[in-house]
Amino acid sequence: MKAPTELTVRQPNPNPVRSYLGDRREGYLFQNDRPRQKLRVAKAKPNKDESGVWWHGAWSEYPHDAGPLVTKWKWLGRVSEMSRKQAQASLMAARLATIKRQYERDNPEAQIDRQIDRLTSRFRSAEALLGEGDK
Q: What is the pLDDT of residues 73-115, one digit of tens each?
A: 999 999 999 999 999 999 999 988 888 888 888 877 777 777 7
Backbone angles phi, psi at 40, to 5 degrees: -125, 140
Q: Is residue 1 a part of any domain in this protein?
A: no
Range of the structural domain that residue 30 is part of? 16-130
Q: Is residue 5 a part of any domain in this protein?
A: no
State the average pLDDT over residues 4-13.
69
Confidence of residue 8 (pLDDT cuts 50, 70, 90): low
CA separation for the pair 60, 34 (Å, rounded): 11
Backbone angles phi, psi at 49, to 5 degrees: -85, -20
Confidence at residue 86, expressed as pLDDT on a 0 to 100 scale: 94
Q: Which residues contact 90 (CB under 8 A, 6 or more apart)?
A: 55, 57, 76, 77, 82
Q: Is residue 25 a part of any domain in this protein?
A: yes
Confidence at residue 42, expressed as pLDDT on a 0 to 100 scale: 95
With beta carbons less than 8 A apart as the criterion, state whether 76 and 54 touch: yes
Q: Is residue 71 a part of any domain in this protein?
A: yes
Q: Is residue 81 a part of any domain in this protein?
A: yes
How many domains, in total, are found in the chain? 1
Confidence at residue 126, expressed as pLDDT on a 0 to 100 scale: 76
Q: Is residue 75 a part of any domain in this protein?
A: yes
Q: What is the pLDDT of residues 54-81, one digit of tens each?
A: 999 999 887 766 677 888 999 999 999 9
Mean pLDDT score across all residues of the chain: 80
Q: Is the pLDDT of residue 32 over 70?
A: no
